[in-house]
Amino acid sequence: MLDLVSSGADERRKHLAAMERAVPVTRMVDYGVPLGEALLVHELTKASDPDSWDDICERLACRQRDIATVAQDAGRRDTAAQAWRYAYALLQCAQLAHNHDVPRKISLYEQAHAALARHAHLCDDLDEVQLSTEKGRLHGWVVRPIDQDPTGAVVVVGGLSGWGGVYLDMGRALAARGLLAVLAEGPGQGLSRMRSGLHLDEATLPLFGAFVDHAESLGVRRVGAWGNSFGGLFTAHLAARDTRIQAVCINGAPMTPGVPTFRTAREQMEVVFGVNEEISLARRLESLGMDAQRHRINAHMLVLQGGCDPLIPLEQQASFFALAPSHSHETFTWGNGEHTIYNHSHERNARAADWFSTTLA
């Protein structure tokens, strides 16, 4: 019995170490977790008998929910809104502990969604989005400029494990510059996968265009797209299919993806694509690869890159420029930038939002 207990503790410590690498403090802060809470999560993983990653994050999220409830009952609207946002971000970090859509992951994601809905109820700039398509319902959020009509819109797309509201700070940076932001949970992502059962394949990939349709339905005619991590590749496909896209930002994406050696990334891909073995995954990834012979993007393009990105080597993303030969190309580089520039998130958001504002003007 002692050996079984010891083995279980060892496995938990290995998983915690993996989560610390996959979800560093910088990523948590980028998602909206307060710095102190992010540091505390990482500190608690080093306890002599630590809880699981998701339990630690959920416990801190419950504390934020309690703060929000007390503040709301006392009429402190801003404090309540802030705490609901923090609870959401912590719960999003919690669900990252599970690659597959097990009940625990789905429960954490639903709790996170409910917390962000409470935050949105107390804010003037955020609305939930549900879009009906022939394949199923898509989910997401819209961030609106306050006290002005939007001059354009940007569809923000996530990758394998972070979607929608985790990009709220990106959305608010865009909105501060007069742009409507659509935070997409596309096929294979978020509630579009967990509730609607939509996985990503050649038949569902065009559904990202529904978010462009939604932006136009809100009165916007100039549209851009901002893809993060693997979502940069999805965004490039969207721009190649949809001539309404006039500006594209790629942040941390491969142009010709392959089956990763890391188990976590491989499992996350399998869930996104709805496959359960390596051969099928390899075929899906091969079909997603892009090249200048087959794909053309009629839009201006920005690439964000970091010198310390362990997944995408420096300069590799510049290969996307070959898909848009007749438009302007620009690159923002952070020499010590992590994957998707987690560690410079505020500067990243400001510079990219400025670029979209100028390019879509």
- Domain annotation for the chain: domains and CATH numbers: 1-123 (1.20.1440), 125-361 (3.40.50.1820)
For residue 8, pLDDT over 90 is answered with no
3-state secondary structure of 32: coil
pLDDT > 70 fraction of the chain, expressed in percent and rounded: 98
Mean pLDDT in residue range 187-212? 97
What pLDDT sits at residue 315?
86
pLDDT, residue 2, reads 44
Q: Residues 81-108: what's their mean pLDDT?
A: 98
Read off the pTM: 0.95
**pLDDT score recorded for residue 12:** 87
Distance CA 41, CA 360 (A): 40
pLDDT of res. 3: 52
Q: Is the pLDDT of residue 4 over 50?
A: no
The predicted pLDDT at position 6 comes to: 53
| 316 vs 246, more confident | 246
Which has more pLDDT, 74 or 264? 74
Q: Mean pLDDT, to the nearest integer, of 186-191?
A: 98
Please check the confidence at residue 345 and state whether its pLDDT lies above 80: yes
Q: What is the pLDDT of residue 223?
A: 98
Residue 133 CA to residue 204 CA, distance in Å, equals 10
| Residue 109 pLDDT > 60 | yes
pLDDT (tens digit per residue) in 114-138: 999 999 999 999 999 999 999 999 9
What is the Cα gyration radius of the chain?
20
Backbone torsions φ then ψ of 302, nearest 5 degrees: -120, 135
pLDDT of residue 5: 45
User: Which contacts qualify for 97-100: CB closer than 8 Å, 24 or more apart?
Assistant: 97/15, 97/19, 97/52, 97/53, 97/54, 97/57, 98/54, 99/161, 99/264, 99/267, 99/268, 99/271, 100/267, 100/271
Question: Stretch 255-278: mean pLDDT, rounded?
Answer: 91
pLDDT per position as a tens digit, 141-172: 999 999 899 999 999 999 999 999 999 999 99
Are 205 and 138 spatial neighbours (Cβ–Cβ below 8 Å)? no
Q: Are 223 and 212 in contact (CB under 8 A)?
A: yes
Q: Is the pLDDT of residue 104 over 80?
A: yes
pLDDT at 1 over 80: no
Dump pLDDT digits (tens) for 202-217. 999 999 999 999 999 9
**pLDDT for 274 beyond 50:** yes
E strands, the chain, in order: 126-132, 137-143, 152-157, 179-185, 223-228, 245-251, 300-306, 329-334
Measure the CA angle with vertex 131, ends 143 and 152; round to 5°.
40
Mean pLDDT of the chain: 95
pLDDT of residue 7: 60
Residues 221-228 have a mean pLDDT of 97
Task: Confirm if 58 and 94 have CB atoms less than 8 A apart.
Answer: yes
- Which DSSP state fits 244? T
